[in-house]
Amino acid sequence: MESTTSTALEAARMVAQVLHRLGEHQQARALDEDTLARYRRVLGEDHPDTLTSANDLARDLSALGEYEQARVLHEDTLARSRRVKGEDHPHTLGSVNNFARDLSALGEYEQARVLNEDTLARSRRVLGEDHPDTRSFAETWRRRCGSWAKLRDNGRRLRPRPTSATPARLENSATTKTHV
């Protein structure tokens, strides 16, 4: 790939990241969709930069409440990352963490928990206890476990987070409350 094309695609990714951090998720999504399409066309589906771009778009989808679409994209990106980079590569570990977040958002807590525990164990082994990624995975795991424990202890089950078409619900055995 020409260096000008590479630089332009990387610049577009960075602008989309800034938009995402500013909460401009729809704008970030549009830019990430275009950037991913160009990465795929220029570098192919399995190139590391394409995988990073796909993760960026899935992050935007999740932020917009489009959890099923985010899950599908994260799952595909994770499979490619495992094949291209290996199970223990830091980017693959990050992809597992992202996929687990989507599963949790969709109410698939047990599968998310198993993935989180495995990611944390691998990160500790590969990167070490004090690596920033390991610390981040540990904090994510702790937060998610705390949320799951609260739900279990309160006798409630959290339904999947809302998509653009469904409201969030917290279901109790006696009553159902709808939160908008």
What local confidence, expressed as pLDDT, does residue 28 receive? 97
Report whether 26 contacts 16 (CB < 8 A). no
pLDDT band at 140 (very low <50, low <70, confident <90, very high): confident
Q: Specify whether the CB–CB gap between 35 and 50 falls below 8 A.
A: no
Q: Which residue has the higher pLDDT, 64 or 167?
A: 64
pLDDT at residue 79 is higher than 90: yes
Look at residue 149 and tell me if it is in a domain. Answer: yes
What mean pLDDT comes out for the span 126-140? 90
Structural domain boundaries, residue 146: 93-180
State the pTM of this model. Answer: 0.76
- Amino acid 162: pLDDT: 47
Q: How many domains does the chain have?
A: 1
